[in-house]
Amino acid sequence: MAEHEPRLDPDLVASAGRDLAAAGTHLTEQRSEAGAEVAALSGARPWGTDDIGEAFERTYRPIEQQVLRAWEKLGGHVTELGDAVAVRVERTDRKLS
């Protein structure tokens, strides 16, 4: 083995993967809670229905939907990444044992 070859602690890396997955789950929960609240509040169109309010609505609504979808997807991706790290480390550790 080379003198400067990096070494990883499998337990620490697997734990970090589980923590990352938990963070993704929390991010998704926040989207379900706070994100749903944002959508509900904006549904009341507090900016009004006059010409300026209508112009704001046309610009705001697509962006709001895009951000909320991205927030949800990000939570899912972070969860999947954390799960994949934990599983990969556990499989690699078993092969090396």
Closest CA to 17 of 67, 68, 92: 92
- 54: its two tokens: 């209508």
Residue type, 15: S
pLDDT tens readout for residues 30-68: 999 999 999 999 999 999 999 999 999 999 999 999 999
% pLDDT > 70, the chain: 95
DSSP helix/strand/coil, 8: coil
CB-based contact 14:75 (threshold 8 Å): no
Residue 7: count of CB within 10 angstroms of its CB: 6
Confidence of residue 90 (pLDDT cuts 50, 70, 90): confident
H or E stretch at 68: helix 51-96
pLDDT score at 3: 72
Q: What is the mean pLDDT of residues 8-29?
A: 94
Using the 8-state DSSP alphabet, how is residue 34 labeled?
A: I
Kindly report the pTM of this predicted structure: 0.78
